[in-house]
Amino acid sequence: MYRITASGWTQLNSEAQSSLKALLLTADPSWEQIKSYVEDSLIFILHFEQQQMVAQLCLFRQTDTAEIKNLSVDTAFQKQGLAKKLLIHVIEWTRQQQLQTLTVKTGNSSLDQLALYQKVGFRMTAIEQDVFKDYPEEIYENGIRCLDQVVLTMNFPVA
């Protein structure tokens, strides 16, 4: 029913890029910010019934670390555990790649996301103040203005 593929942005055709762009923008309203990392990222895509893109996770890898830059699920498919499914897949991929650290950053107002990341094993390690203060449009979630970025990490034992 669902399958996960991994691809680079430039490997996708224009139709797939358009669908993916819509998903990316649901997690981050700044296309300028997304463009700063999307071409250098590995994108894990969750497909429904062979083709339809319903969720994505954008992973930026460095030498021995990786950072989840963007994670989103199509609104019609939310509340089905698909984000958790993608996270677990990427955590396992990170282990197989023998990376030391997996990081994710999210807004202080993203309460559901903060809970999800902690449920799968991430720990809060830092708060970067005023990261979202100068976004073109103010972001509000759960009645809270998003200003700060919460950094969560997962460390893996070195073999």
Domain that holds residue 25: 2-155
CATH number of the CATH domain containing 33: 3.40.630.30
For the chain, the domain total comes to: 1
45, β-bridge pairs: 5, 56
Identify whether the C-beta of residue 3 lies closer than 8 Å to the C-beta of residue 20. no
Per-residue pLDDT tens listing for the chain (159 residues): 889 999 999 999 999 999 999 999 998 888 988 999 999 999 999 999 867 889 999 999 999 999 999 999 999 999 999 999 999 999 999 999 999 999 999 999 999 999 999 999 999 999 999 999 988 888 899 999 999 999 999 999 876
Q: Enter the pTM of the model.
A: 0.91
